[in-house]
Structure 1
Amino acid sequence: MAEIRIENVRKEFGSFVAVQSSTLTIEDGSFFVMLGPSGCGKTTTLRMIAGLELPTSGRILLDGEDVTMRRAAARDIAFVFQMYALYPHMDVRGNIGFPLRCQGVPRAEVKRRVAETARLLRIGPLLDRPVSTLSGGDRQRVALGRAIVREPKAFLMDEPLGALDTEFRHLMCTELRDLHDRLGATTVYVTHDQLEAMSMADRIAVMRHGVIEQSGPPQDLYDRPASMYVADFLGSPPMNFLAFRGAVGRGDRQVVIDGAEVPVPELREDRAEGPLALGVRPEHVRFDDAAPLRGAVVGAEYMGTTQIVTVATAGGAVKARIPSNRLVRDGERVGLAFRSAGLSLFDAGSGWALRSALHDFAPQGFAGGVRHG
């Protein structure tokens, strides 16, 4: 397999900039997910890696070799599309073996590799069936088989589960990750679904407006987001933000929000001031009658063993994930306490993180002007 590296890659379509000077390394054998909403540049980046689009500037290296201007067929990369792209006039065997026949691979070798791929994907009994008779999940397995049978250096997948229903998506997430672990392949996977990304990825790059805002292991992005955008995009429900104005200096451990002293993570900067936002995940919020920050319960969502309770405060709505056996009533006044180690501090004007208190962090792939401790 192979390491993939993109260096200062930029893609313009006329006056529109789809990808802005991105630099990224995808390690050999890793499962790398590019995550973001529609139009953020993730699919364009994937297509440039594949050779389906040429970058306006920058370089793309595959296994240390510059392939920037090399056509897609010469890159030894397999691409799996969202809509399967199967040949309806062929059966499953014909679809999987088609790339090998195009390469002139001997018939006996084609037969062997198709059978091995079908066994790997657990679709051996389907080999002689027309693809038109298959379920969505089985069609996606056939599309994966057509990529696997080539034994390429890397697999690129553009929202391959997007056309499946929820049950199949969960099943295929598990199967894709298991398949990746068995093959040891370098895989680049594009999705807008943060649950898919968090459940499968070794590393995630979160994109916005053509910029990679943060890249790193899923837990790092979740615990130590580099921006309010990343903090809001990851998590269900996402991070809470309590807005306040003022100044926080080196060594300050509290700020005043709605007249209440609230802990903040320690800054490494000398001073931060202006519109600021304190960020806290719902699981790091608890109810405490002695806590000075108070608000009124405005709703609760039952989740089984837990519930998500929304509390209106002067600094903004706060969602708390608490045990479901804790009875709450609409309008009830409650005190809110935060786990200090789970707090982040943001510059609300720029949206970038000033400090996360969990521990030191230095994620890769920040875009312009990020400040962190």
Structure 2
Amino acid sequence: MAEIVIRNLRKEFGDFTAVQSSSFTIEDGEFFMLLGPSGCGKTTTLRMIAGLELPTSGDILIDGEEVSQKPATERDIAFVFQMFALYPHMNVRRNISYPLVSQGLPRAQVKAKVAEVARILGIEDILEKPVGGLSGGDRQRVALGRAIVREPKAFMMDEPLGALDAEFREHMAEELRALHDRMGATTVYVTHDQLEAMQMGDKIVVMNHGVIEQFGTPQDIYDKPATMFVADFIGSPAMNFLDARGTVAPGADHVMLGDVRAAIPEMREGASGEIVFGVRPEHVRLSDAAPYRGEVRAAEYLGTTQIVTVDTPAGEIKARIGSDQPARRGDKVGLEFNGRTVTLFSRETGKALRSAMNEDVFHG
């Protein structure tokens, strides 16, 4: 397997810039997620790493070799697509063995490798079946088997679970991550599903309009969002955003939400302009004694928890609370925020001024 280094990668299609000066490193053996909404540049980035698109500028290094202008056939990369891309006239065994047969490997070696891959994926019992009659999950396993059998330097996966139904997709995500852990393969995985990215990834790049908004571990991206876009895109429900009043001075430990003081992480540097107070729903508490008040507009029951939507003078707030707490439409409630869990943003730039969890300062 291999380390993949991306330096100032850019891709233009005529007047349209799909990817703008992206730089990041994918460690050897890492499960790496490219995450973002449709049209953000994640698939274009993946295709450039794989050699299916050549970059306008920038460098791609795979296992220390500069490959940015080399075709896919010279990169030793295996690709798994969303729509499986299997050969319908071949059975499972022939689909998996096709890359090895194309390379001219001896028949005995091909048979042994196919048997090993089938055992890893748990598909020994369907090797002689035609692929047309298989379930979506089994066809995806066959597509994975055809990629694995080559033992490439890295795997590129473009929303490989997107065609499966929701329940089975979650199961296959667990299987795919377990398979990755057994093989120790360098994997680059594209998805628009933030839950999938958080569940499977070692590291995540969040992209928007061709720009990397943030790069880090799932926990860092969730706890310390670098931009309002990331805070809104990651999490379900998304982070609450409230307009704060006034200038935040160096050393400040609160902002004003209307006429009420709300605690924040202590500011090492001051901030002016329009300040946005961000807090995740699970860090909002309902309390009769809290001075910041609102009216319950809706309560969504989710079993052990519920999502309560509260209208306040500074905007709508969603709180994730226990389902045993009373919260009915029309109730007047108080809201509490733990300052350690708050992130402040600049409305002008959309960037975080002070992170949640009381540690990092982000500069625009």
TM-score under structure 1 length normalisation: 0.96
Distance 1:194 1:307 in 2: 21
**Aligned to 1:98, what secondary structure does the other structure show?**
helix
Distance 1:60 1:68 in 2: 5
Within 5 A, what are the aligned runs for 1:294-305? 294-305=293-304
1:227-248: per-residue Cα shift (whole Å, max 9, x none)? Answer: 0000000001010111123200
Letter in 1 for 2:165: D
Match of 2:242 in 1: 242
Question: How far did 1:255 drift?
Answer: 1.5
Number of matched pairs = 364
**Aligned to 1:255, what secondary structure does the other structure show?**
strand
**Aligned to 2:248, what secondary structure does the other structure show?**
strand
Match of 1:117 in 2: 117
Distance 1:279 1:320 in 2: 13
Match of 1:321 in 2: 320
Q: Is 1:253 the counterpart of 2:245 in the alignment?
A: no
Within 5 A, what are the aligned runs for 1:48-87? 48-87=48-87
1:72-106: per-residue Cα shift (whole Å, max 9, x none)? Answer: 01101100001000000000000000001111111
Match of 1:371 in 2: 363
1:128-156: per-residue Cα shift (whole Å, max 9, x none)? Answer: 00000100000000000000000001001
1:206-259: per-residue Cα shift (whole Å, max 9, x none)? Answer: 000001110100000000000000000000101011112320011111111121
Contact 2:245 2:256 in 1 (8 A): no
Contact 2:40 2:207 in 1 (8 A): yes
Q: Is 1:308 the counterpart of 2:300 in the alignment?
A: no
Distance 1:274 1:68 in 2: 42
Distance 2:255 2:191 in 1: 38
1:99-123: per-residue Cα shift (whole Å, max 9, x none)? Answer: 0111111111100000100000000
Within 5 A, what are the aligned runs for 1:213-292? 213-269=213-269, 271-292=270-291
Change (3 A) 1:359 1:252: closer
Question: How far did 1:69 drift?
Answer: 1.0
Question: How far did 1:284 drift?
Answer: 0.5
Match of 2:5 in 1: 5
Distance 1:310 1:217 in 2: 29
Distance 1:41 1:65 in 2: 24
Match of 1:188 in 2: 188
1:161-188: per-residue Cα shift (whole Å, max 9, x none)? Answer: 0100011101100000000000000000
Contact 1:245 1:274 in 2 (8 A): no
Match of 2:359 in 1: 360
Distance 2:314 2:363 in 1: 23
Distance 1:201 1:130 in 2: 33
Match of 1:147 in 2: 147
Letter in 2 for 1:336: L
Letter in 2 for 1:273: S
Letter in 2 for 1:355: R
Letter in 2 for 1:112: A
Distance 2:146 2:360 in 1: 40
**Aligned to 1:143, what secondary structure does the other structure show?**
helix
Which runs of structure 1 show a deviation greater than 2 angstroms over 4 or more consecutive aligned residues?
Answer: 359-362
Letter in 2 for 1:195: L
Match of 2:178 in 1: 178
**Aligned to 2:357, what secondary structure does the other structure show?**
coil
**Aligned to 1:220, what secondary structure does the other structure show?**
helix
Contact 1:245 1:273 in 2 (8 A): no
Letter in 2 for 1:309: V
Letter in 2 for 1:210: G
Change (3 A) 1:100 1:361: farther
RMSD: 1.0
Question: How far did 1:357 drift?
Answer: 3.8
Change (3 A) 1:324 1:135: same
Letter in 2 for 1:307: Q
